[in-house]
Structure 1
Amino acid sequence: MSGFSSELIDYLEGRISFEEFEIRREERKAKLKVTIPVKSLLYANYPPLLSLPADPEEGVSPSVQKAFEEEEEDSEEERKLNRENKKMMKERRNRSKLPRALRGLMGEANIRYARGDKEDAVLMCMEIIRQAPLAYEPFSTLAMIYEDQGDMEKSLQFGLIAAHLNPSDCEEWVKLADMSLEQDNIRQAIICYTKAIKYDPSNVRYLWERCSLYEQVGEHKQSMDGYRRILNLLPPTDGEHFMQLSRDMAKSYYESSDLPSAMGVMEEALRRHPELVTDESINMAAELYIANHQHGKALQVGVCVFPDHVPVDIRVKLMVCLIHQHVYRPLDSMLTSLMEQSPEELGDLYLDVAEAFLDEGEYNSALPLLSALVCSERYNLAVVWLRHAECLKALGHMEVAVKSYSKVVQMAPLHLEARLCLSTLQQQLGRPLCALKALEPMYDPDTLAQDASAAQQELKLLLHRSTLLRSQGRLDDYLDSMLTMLAMLLKVAMTRAQVCVRASMWSGVRHLRLVKVSKDLVSDIDDQEAAYQDISGKTSVLSREDWWLLLVRCVCTLCEMKRFKEAELLVDSSLEFYSFYDVKVKRKELEFFGLSAAFLDHNYRKAYDYIRLTLMEKQEWPMLWNVFNQVTLHSQDVRHHRFCLRLMMKNPDNHALCVLSGHNALVSGSFKHALGQYVQAFRSKPDEPLYSLCVGLTFFHMASQKFVVKRHPLILQGFSFLWRYVELRGHCQESMYNLGRALQQMGLAHLAIHYYHKALSFPPLTLEGIEADQVDLRREIAFNLSIIYQASGNTEMVRHLINTYCTV
């Protein structure tokens, strides 16, 4: 039978740690206080480590059941013992919970243990535990038996249970804490000391040991709280200990950047034991006030305890406070005295005073101190050179500042701010190549892939480098920097778009290029969400709007450099990037960029995909229909016919779509359908010359068919619309050419010659933004005339027309 709680069984079998056991025990205890009846609350006051006998099979593993199994005979004596056990639990007295009938058996177990008969002693203890599970004596004896056998882990287990059943024994908790530390279980030791402190809260030794353990596990707050309790417990006569502990606590708070707590501890120490204040205490208090920019308080502390022979470190802190209070008159003598000291020995104090001068803008006063430091051997450090360079730069000594910044970069090549300042100064001095050299990459690709901080630093460097390259007009190098930055942001997106950045030779110089690769050559990213989070951390130095501006500039520069294919690939990758694609305005702008790049790259099939998506949302924009017409004109693809028909069914009143559908029908030979679309356009805008021309030409095409019933009426109607077109358009080279071309198609050569010659007599049209040669029809007119004259045998006229108008 087993009367053990489930958490105790799990703990004994090693399935949970002692810390988890304690947590589950407290949770069950709290739950019982809420759920059990009021009459049974007396039982809840005992530690619920063990419960009364229950089902022997419930929650018990075979190993534990074997150790505690017994014959299931409910004798009168056993029932009597159970009643006595319950009675003792109700009494809630601070005495042994071992029933009187079992005390003899417990004594016999101890005698067997003393004689060395440990197996019988263990069995007796187990029997006692079965009948009186709340008695601590058998657990304590088992702990001693296992300790003698060298099984320290099991000894510690039973010792902890015994301590829980008899929690007021502080020394036992301390012993168990030491055993836990021997097994490197610091958390368990902390719990043991916490139990000991609960029953002896004024024991400084227990508090001190627990604070030390908290420090070992990195729980700084709990450690400091314990030290505060120790300060409150220290007697007034132990002032030296109080002051030392206060200084240690202030130092620890300062190292963890908790300045208010550090100042509070030191103020309390100075207030309670003013007679024990030393130079060290004053120095620390002043340093804390200065660090918190409370120079007035620091100066007050310094003045109150400023004897004639004050130590130099406190004198320097007084100087720092006077500088920040803008009290410069007393500084001359103290500054002279400090400068007489060797910077090799007091370099840190030199730097403190110099930095105070720099903070207040007194660069002329700071420069001698910094110059002395950079000339020393011990303080010839990068941080000192940096202060020296900043001071020189503020004073306008640019050439010397460049040398100091160069020294900083030489000593600390990963210092970003020094590189940026050096580059700026070199650019101001007219040395663009030196400015670029200062902004060379700091990290290798492997470091950038693993270190987020390094990636952020490199991004800042690349951003400044790209700006500098753009200002110098070095666009190829500028694009290299831009592509490097964007590749860091779009790493996952480029993988999905099958795009990568590769270095290649271009005009004898190696530059980066965006290339499309096959899926087999793209390295798959197993966890894209984790990769995206990693990239977000590395690229967080720039906002999403800043990244968007960089992308737009890069796309525009690629087009400016005629690298349209790469602009397409960059847009494809950006559309795979969620932060850009999710914003509709940015997505539409990217699609426009992709359309422009694809059209300029003569990739009309891809341009058609972009323009089709745009037109499905913006059918009312004439500019888009003009682009659509240009794309379909160059693509030589008939896919757009069905697209226009479907869109026409949804938008029957769209004028541009009506005209384009008529063009498509005319090209495909559906003249009646084309005529219907043109007539619809003509009715909506009867004064537009183009629609009269289209209707007239459609009639001519219909009349030119082999099998037609009423050819002459069709020709008459066609000429009727052509003359209307001439009236609306006016007599010009274009209208005369179209009229002559229609007459030539109908076989009326003599009339066609007349209108062709009239067309040759008109000058070409002048259109803004278009060269005159592009709209000059004289070559086409002369060629058509030469065909007519060739057919009639007039070779002399043919030669004249070709030589005059068609010879380059």
Structure 2
Amino acid sequence: MLRRKKKKKRNKKENNKKKMTRMMMTASKTRMKFERLEYEALAEKKRKLLASSHCEGSMKKARQDDTSGASMDEIMEAMNFGVRRKSRKPKKRGRRKGSKNKLSPEITRMLGDATLHYAHGHYEEAISTLHEVIRLAPNLPDPYHTLGLVHNRLGEDKKASNFYMIAAHLTPKDSSLWRLLFTKSIEQGNIGQASYCLSKAIMADPKDVTLKLHRASLHVELGDYQKAAESFDQIYQLSPENIEALKTGAKLYQKGGQLEHSIRILEDYVKGHPSEADTSVIDLLASIFMESNSYDKALQLIEHAKLVYYSGKELPLNLTIKEGICHVNLKNMEKAEVLFSILQRGSVNDHAHLIAEAADSLMSLEHYDSALKYYLMLEGGAKGDNGFLYLKIARCYLFLKERVQAIFFLYKALQMLEDNIDARLTLASLLLEEAKEEEAISLLAPPKDFDSIELPPEKSKPWWLNEKVKLKLCTIYRAKAMVEDFVDAIFPLVRESLYVETLHPKVKVKKRLSRRVLFERVKVLNDRETENVFRGFRPVAPSSDLSKAARAKRLLQKKATIREKKKAEALASGADWQSDDSDDDPPEVHREPPLPNLLKDEEHHRLIIDLCKSLASLQRYWEALEIINLTLRLAHSMLSVEKEEELRSLGAQIAYNTTDPKHGFDCVRYIVQQHPYSLAAWNCYYKVISRVDNRDSRHFKFLRGMLSKLVDCVPPIIIYAHQFTMASNHQHAATKYLEAYKRLPENALINLCVGTALINLALGFRLQNKHQCLAQGLAFLYNNLRLCENSQEALYNIARAYHHVGLVTLAASYYEKVLAIRVKDYPIPKLPCENPDIVGNQKPGYKPGYCDLRREAAYNLHLIYKKSGALDLARQVLKDHCTI
């Protein structure tokens, strides 16, 4: 049963296929029949048209009769209807031109009328007519173009450009119209529109070399050498005979950093001209090889040119000189000299640049003798301004160690190039080597009447204000010990440099631009011509300027949003709204220091120290301390340890020579920190502190810190006790002195200080056991006398103590003992790294002899005698010991 069912299904499918085949054959026959009938109908129609044309007459007469009723295109279409000849030209797809948007007779007439109005100078009638045409046919380019002509004749350039732009967009393949718009955009200064029109013109006429040349020039002005080189390369591809385009493109590729591409296009030219080539291309390629130090390739190129292009001919002179330069760099001096010998023929003026090129190459490779020979050739034959030539000759003589000739030519060069700083400094150095210091000073010093000299506006400053010249002059002054001249020359530069450095923060803070600067940057993105119909052209500017402008635009929008928000909040709260235009102030001008590397150069560090010493020797202490403090604050991490210590020691010395030593506190504090166990350092520190009128809190803070840090250091304890003594707090003073006595019981100074403190304490009102305290004080003074081995100073201290407490008899005996002793002067303790110039420069009226106390003892003894009534003895003591 299953087999029968399957067999029935299979038979049914086969019958269906047969029916479909018969139906398709029937449909095909029917279609062929209809096509044959259609063909016969078309043929009949053609025969009728031919018969009617023969009946009406000749074809010429039929055209004349039907012109009034149909257009020429319709007649030609009717004539060719049914006659389809095979054309040899390839068939074009799409609608035939002119078959759509045909002009009506009315519009054609109006266009003609407008043209006549324009031709006769009736511009108002022409404009009104053209406006009506635009209303009827807005997509027609002719009225816009004519309107552009009319407005151009009326002198309305902007309106004319707008109508030209509309016409150009309606006829985008009209390159002449785009070219016209490019020219007008350049005249109006609208670079963005000019670039746009130029691109459209090139698209309309890609083979126009002039347009591509304009685009290349535009890229060169913008600094886009890559695109400019590509444009020149395209120009050369369009016109291979344009060698200048090839060379310019190669130079721009080289300038844009694509040296390999530059070499490749030039080598392709050489390979493409195996029999004859342009000499300038060979010369340029050789120059590029030489600039990239590929002298072997340049030599191979010149040899190839000599064999192929100049076989049996003389090689051009420029290539011959380049060949010689290549041999010089390849160390073939004999071959190079043979090639350079051709320069000695003929006139120097004819090939001066080649002689200079050869001489420069010889000098760069230190062949000074040979280079000098060719420079002297130029010096003898050239005319005009030879300042740089004289400099090169002087340099050759300098390397050949002929100083006299070098000085001579440097003077000749400076007559023409007086602003050449390097030449002036070199000449000054040579004069110093020849021991002509005065001549060097006159060379570097400013002219006598420099205030009356009028400088041209292009000069920023004259040569005598140059920092290098001043530094060189200061070096000479310092070597000759001309202190005042040295200070006057270098002090303003150093102070200005340090002051500028204080204005510049060490940490770079993000710069806040003012609204004025932001608006200036945004101008790159805005159209200059606001009246133009077409706007929004891509700005023509470097990418860096475009990115800055975009950021400025976003920042201005953000500021405007914040400003509106503040304004709304102020108005909502009822407060008066005041615009904050503080950021519209002009930005601060960035000042450059006169000596940029003052704090980084070790030689300048030495200069600063010498300047401070010179200022101190001239008793200009405030200025010296100002330089020292600024230098230590700004360059503490750049100064060496020796120089920093020398500066601080110098500041400490200056501090106790000034009337107000508080400015030198940092220096003496540093000295003590570096030498905590030095008595000289602590003496200097105490001398500075004791002369400060108002007690400085920095001193007490520093002293407490040193006491806690240096437990075994006695000088800070004594100084701390001295401060209590000066404040008449003798009890605390005695406590501190006794603390120091525990550490150094055999120290004479400590015993003296303890004794005086106890005696002063005994004279107080609150102490009950005054006699015991007085006896203890005298015991410490006698201990001081023992330790000092009955010295004059110890005897005087005991006599002064007896005198102070009223024991005048004992005091007189000790004063007499003091008068019987003569003492030599002892040197004042010196600071570490102390400058002898500062120490020797004492105040007027200072005399040595501070260690002898006979005058003081005689004066006090005369007071005792006078009070006791012995006036004769008092006068005799003064006469013997206190008379000059």
Task: Give me the TM-score of the superposition, normalised by structure 2.
Answer: 0.64
| Amino acid across the alignment from 1:473 | A
Other-structure match for 1:675 = 734
What are the within-5 Å matches in structure 2 for residues 248-259 of structure 1? 248-250=248-250
Q: Distance in 2 between matches of 1:746 and 1:449?
A: 83
**How far does residue 490 in structure 1 lie from its aligned partner after superposition?**
4.9
Deviations along 1:425-471, one digit per CA (max 9) or x if unpaired, are 22222211222233244998997998669789811222222223322
| Amino acid across the alignment from 1:460 | K
Other-structure match for 1:84 = none
Q: Distance in 2 between matches of 1:657 and 1:544?
A: 37
What are the within-5 Å matches in structure 2 for residues 152-301 of structure 1? 152-157=157-162, 159-160=164-165, 173-198=178-203, 204-215=209-220, 219-231=224-236, 233-234=237-238, 239-241=240-242, 243-250=243-250, 262-301=262-301
Q: Distance in 1 between matches of 2:588 and 2:636?
A: 19
The answer on whether the counterparts of 1:140 and 1:159 sit within 8 Å (CA) in structure 2 is: no
RMSD: 4.7
SS of the aligned residue for 1:361 comes to coil
Q: Distance in 2 between matches of 1:528 and 1:732?
A: 74
The answer on whether the counterparts of 1:567 and 1:597 sit within 8 Å (CA) in structure 2 is: no
Pick one of 480, 485, 488 that aligns with 1:480. 488
Other-structure match for 2:777 = 718
Cα distance 1:620–1:161, how it changes in 2: closer, same or farther (>3 A)?
farther
SS of the aligned residue for 1:718 comes to helix
SS of the aligned residue for 2:466 comes to helix
The answer on whether the counterparts of 2:391 and 2:409 sit within 8 Å (CA) in structure 1 is: yes
Other-structure match for 2:799 = 740
SS of the aligned residue for 2:592 comes to helix
The answer on whether the counterparts of 1:106 and 1:125 sit within 8 Å (CA) in structure 2 is: no
**How far does residue 250 in structure 1 lie from its aligned partner after superposition?**
4.2
**How far does residue 542 in structure 1 lie from its aligned partner after superposition?**
6.1
Q: Distance in 2 between matches of 1:332 and 1:598?
A: 67
Other-structure match for 1:464 = 472
The answer on whether the counterparts of 1:564 and 1:600 sit within 8 Å (CA) in structure 2 is: no
Other-structure match for 1:777 = 853
Deviations along 1:737-763, one digit per CA (max 9) or x if unpaired, are 212211121222332334344445556
**How far does residue 270 in structure 1 lie from its aligned partner after superposition?**
1.9
What are the within-5 Å matches in structure 2 for residues 321-340 of structure 1? 321-340=326-345
Other-structure match for 1:27 = none
Other-structure match for 1:145 = 147
The answer on whether the counterparts of 1:386 and 1:405 sit within 8 Å (CA) in structure 2 is: yes
What are the within-5 Å matches in structure 2 for residues 170-569 of structure 1? 173-198=178-203, 204-215=209-220, 219-231=224-236, 233-234=237-238, 239-241=240-242, 243-250=243-250, 262-306=262-306, 307=310, 308-378=313-383, 381-441=386-446, 458-486=466-494, 489-490=497-498, 530-531=588-589, 533-536=590-593, 539-540=595-596, 544-545=600-601, 548-569=605-626
Task: Give me the TM-score of the superposition, normalised by structure 1.
Answer: 0.69
Other-structure match for 1:703 = 762
Name the % identity: 22
Q: Distance in 2 between matches of 1:615 and 1:159?
A: 84
Q: Distance in 1 between matches of 2:273 and 2:720?
A: 98
Q: Distance in 2 between matches of 1:152 and 1:527?
A: 39
Q: Distance in 1 between matches of 2:585 and 2:877?
A: 72
Cα distance 1:645–1:530, how it changes in 2: closer, same or farther (>3 A)?
closer
**How far does residue 690 in structure 1 lie from its aligned partner after superposition?**
3.0
User: Which deviates more, 609-618 or 751-760?
Assistant: 609-618
Q: Distance in 1 between matches of 2:723 and 2:213?
A: 92
* Bigger radius of gyration: 2
> Are 1:602 and 2:666 counterparts?
no
Cα distance 1:608–1:273, how it changes in 2: closer, same or farther (>3 A)?
closer
SS of the aligned residue for 1:669 comes to coil
**How far does residue 381 in structure 1 lie from its aligned partner after superposition?**
0.9
Q: Distance in 1 between matches of 2:742 and 2:382?
A: 94
SS of the aligned residue for 1:557 comes to helix
Deviations along 1:67-103, one digit per CA (max 9) or x if unpaired, are xxxxxxxxxxxxxxxxxxxxxxxxxx9999xxx9xx7
Other-structure match for 1:78 = none
Cα distance 1:111–1:287, how it changes in 2: closer, same or farther (>3 A)?
same
| Amino acid across the alignment from 2:418 | P
What are the within-5 Å matches in structure 2 for residues 39-118 of structure 1? 115-116=113-114, 118=127
The answer on whether the counterparts of 1:139 and 1:159 sit within 8 Å (CA) in structure 2 is: no
Deviations along 1:656-691, one digit per CA (max 9) or x if unpaired, are 555334323323333334334434444455444433
User: Which deviates more, 169-178 or 688-697?
Assistant: 169-178
What are the within-5 Å matches in structure 2 for residues 682-701 of structure 1? 682-683=741-742, 685-701=744-760
**How far does residue 227 in structure 1 lie from its aligned partner after superposition?**
0.9
**How far does residue 422 in structure 1 lie from its aligned partner after superposition?**
1.6
Cα distance 1:181–1:786, how it changes in 2: closer, same or farther (>3 A)?
closer
Cα distance 1:244–1:529, how it changes in 2: closer, same or farther (>3 A)?
closer
The answer on whether the counterparts of 2:140 and 2:170 sit within 8 Å (CA) in structure 1 is: no
Q: Distance in 2 between matches of 1:265 and 1:731?
A: 104
Q: Distance in 1 between matches of 2:776 and 2:326?
A: 102
| Amino acid across the alignment from 2:808 | A
**How far does residue 403 in structure 1 lie from its aligned partner after superposition?**
1.0
| Amino acid across the alignment from 2:759 | F
User: Which deviates more, 119-128 or 659-668?
Assistant: 119-128
Cα distance 1:722–1:528, how it changes in 2: closer, same or farther (>3 A)?
farther
| Amino acid across the alignment from 2:592 | I
Cα distance 1:395–1:747, how it changes in 2: closer, same or farther (>3 A)?
same
**How far does residue 230 in structure 1 lie from its aligned partner after superposition?**
2.7
**How far does residue 219 in structure 1 lie from its aligned partner after superposition?**
4.5
Cα distance 1:429–1:263, how it changes in 2: closer, same or farther (>3 A)?
farther
Cα distance 1:714–1:272, how it changes in 2: closer, same or farther (>3 A)?
same
What are the within-5 Å matches in structure 2 for residues 565-580 of structure 1? 565-571=622-628
**How far does residue 248 in structure 1 lie from its aligned partner after superposition?**
3.5
Other-structure match for 2:75 = none
Deviations along 1:585-638, one digit per CA (max 9) or x if unpaired, are 999989947944753552225446656987999996876653342124344x24
**How far does residue 407 in structure 1 lie from its aligned partner after superposition?**
0.6
Deviations along 1:183-221, one digit per CA (max 9) or x if unpaired, are 343442222222344576565454233223434556544
Cα distance 1:413–1:652, how it changes in 2: closer, same or farther (>3 A)?
closer
Q: Distance in 2 between matches of 1:208 and 1:712?
A: 115
Q: Distance in 1 between matches of 2:480 and 2:664?
A: 38
User: Which deviates more, 368-377 or 409-418?
Assistant: 368-377
**How far does residue 406 in structure 1 lie from its aligned partner after superposition?**
0.9
User: Which deviates more, 207-216 or 581-590?
Assistant: 581-590
SS of the aligned residue for 2:331 comes to coil
SS of the aligned residue for 1:774 comes to coil
SS of the aligned residue for 1:378 comes to coil
**How far does residue 176 in structure 1 lie from its aligned partner after superposition?**
3.2
SS of the aligned residue for 1:341 comes to coil
Cα distance 1:155–1:126, how it changes in 2: closer, same or farther (>3 A)?
farther
Show structure 2 runs of 5+ residues with no match: 1-92, 115-125, 505-583, 830-846
SS of the aligned residue for 2:381 comes to coil
